[in-house]
Chains A and B, each alone.
Chain A
Amino acid sequence: MTAIIKINNVAKSYKSQQVLQALDWEINEGDIVGLLGKNGAGKSTLLKSMLNLSEIDDGSITLFGESHLNLSTTVKSKLGYVPQENDEISWLTVNELIKFRRQFYTRWSDEKVDNLVDLWDIDLNKEMGELSPGQVQRVLIILALAPMPQLIILDEPAAALDPAGRRLFLKEIISLASEEKVTVIFSTHITSDLERVANKVAILDQGKIRYFDDLDNAKENVVSLSINQHDTDITVPHLLRVKQQNKRLQCVVSKLDKQWLTEMEKQGVDVVVNPLGLEDIFLEITT
């Protein structure tokens, strides 16, 4: 496994507010990573920092082995980015904008552009300023994918899209993931989207990557244990929270200890494992 992104001890503050602190993170080639975080957790700042669109105060970031401050043209041509805010020239038509952007790239797939324009129902002759937020979002995604990047960073790509638009977007990510060795990072609030397409989930909380693992591992490990109240004297490993419900204790753990579970079974302690969806996992970890 090669790490495509290495983030080492990164710090960033706005005025007196520390947004990122001592943040370490590595992302491997081929991973589809969903980044979760509360509003204001610093997701956009982190994604922008990777591309040096936002300056960091401390630490280092490398992309494809090169410092993010000094990327070669080769590495730059491998990057695709979809910003949260649209700052494209509003008086250009979609067609003009595509032609304009095309000149800056050595690799550009007209086929991909045509396909997506067709599939996503985009009117090429409309000016950017005339488009709805959802249509603008689609155009931005097309612009990012056209140069066939190997690392795609998307900041809340689905926020402006309706359910049908989101599904089309997810389909595109899935086809990218099965076609080539493409690495994707996207921030989102919509956990069900993440659960469909991501193989890794990251949770940004209090300036750090608080949780980063395979999505499957997260679901198998962060669980709620229902324990008979007669057995209250036992110690539950990796405990996050306890709640009483229906004469039973509900214990949320960050890591399900299988050995402990077998031991409990042997001792005749009645423990029922209840899986949690990603939304619950996120809330349990961040609160």
Chain B
Amino acid sequence: MIFMDQFVISPSSGVPIYKQLLSQIERMILNGYFAQGDSLPSVRQVATDLDINPMTVSKAYGLLEERGYVERLRGKGMIVAKRDEEVSEKEKLTMLNTMIKDLISEAQLVGVSEQQLLAMFVEQASDNTDVESQNTQGKES
């Protein structure tokens, strides 16, 4: 069973709540946090747990179903669907691409140039690699 306390809803955001819910569930399915066959809680359960309109939850579930992330099983409600590895791989990249696009727009808004952004990116990435290699060394010793 998937529990809803993993989700964060920001009602005052300009992003509609159904989209917030949709992208969080999508992400959790793509990164394997939710496994195939896991069942999603009922619309009513989510609505009362998160204090949001049930129609909003239905809308997010409907879109997840349309996109093949979940399927409706009689008597079991919504469960995480079996996914094609190749498609999942593609979707992961699409998801990252969207996040990168958002980051670029954000940088433009605050007046950070593309070169600066790229430099920041490289720096962060190398920091991450350092931490990772330290971790592996730590494990070995």
* Contact for B52 among A191, A196, A246, A248, CB less than 8 A: A196
Q: Is chain A's interface secondary structure helix, strand, loop, or mixed overall?
A: helix
Interface pair A178/B44, CB less than 8 Å apart: yes
Number of A-B contacts (CB under 8 A): 78
Asked if A274 is an interface residue, CB under 8 A from chain B, the answer is: yes
Asked if A220 is an interface residue, CB under 8 A from chain B, the answer is: yes
CB-defined contacts of B12 to chain A, threshold 8 Å: 191-192, 195, 277-279
Shortest CB-to-CB span from A148 to chain B, Å, is 18
Interface pair A178/B13, CB less than 8 Å apart: no
Asked if B94 is an interface residue, CB under 8 A from chain A, the answer is: no
Asked if A226 is an interface residue, CB under 8 A from chain B, the answer is: yes
CB interface residues, B 1-50, toward A, < 8 Å: 11-19, 43-44, 47-48
Most chain-A Cβ atoms within 10 A of its Cβ — which of B15, B55, B56, B111? B55
Interface pair B53/A197, CB less than 8 Å apart: yes
CB interface residues, A 162-207, toward B, < 8 Å: 167, 170-171, 174-175, 177-178, 191-192, 195-199
Shortest CB-to-CB span from B136 to chain A, Å, is 40
Interface pair A167/B51, CB less than 8 Å apart: yes
Asked if B109 is an interface residue, CB under 8 A from chain A, the answer is: yes
* Contact for A276 among B14, B53, B54, B56, CB less than 8 A: B14
Interface pair A195/B108, CB less than 8 Å apart: no
Per-residue CB contact flags for chain B residues 44-73 toward chain A (1 = under 8 Å, else 0) read 100110011111100100000000000000
CB-defined contacts of A175 to chain B, threshold 8 Å: 48
Asked if A32 is an interface residue, CB under 8 A from chain B, the answer is: yes
Interface size on B (CB < 8 Å)?
25
Q: How far is the CA of A209 from the CA of B140 in the complex (A)?
A: 69
Interface pair A174/B52, CB less than 8 Å apart: yes
Q: How far is the CA of A215 from the CA of B110 in the complex (A)?
A: 29
CB-defined contacts of B59 to chain A, threshold 8 Å: 216
CB-defined contacts of B19 to chain A, threshold 8 Å: 216
CB-defined contacts of A279 to chain B, threshold 8 Å: 12
Asked if A141 is an interface residue, CB under 8 A from chain B, the answer is: no
Shortest CB-to-CB span from B138 to chain A, Å, is 42
Pairs of residues from A and B, 8 with the lowest C-beta to C-beta distance, nearest first:
A275-B14, A195-B11, A216-B16, A178-B54, A272-B105, A276-B14, A277-B12, A196-B11
Residue pairs across A and B with Cβ atoms less than 8 A apart, 15 shown, are A167-B51, A177-B47, A177-B54, A177-B55, A178-B44, A192-B11, A196-B51, A196-B53, A197-B53, A199-B53, A199-B56, A226-B109, A246-B111, A275-B14, A280-B14
Contacts A197-B52, A246-B109 known; 16 new A-B pairs at CB < 8 A: A32-B55, A167-B51, A174-B51, A177-B53, A177-B55, A178-B48, A192-B12, A195-B11, A195-B12, A196-B11, A196-B53, A197-B51, A219-B16, A272-B105, A278-B12, A279-B12
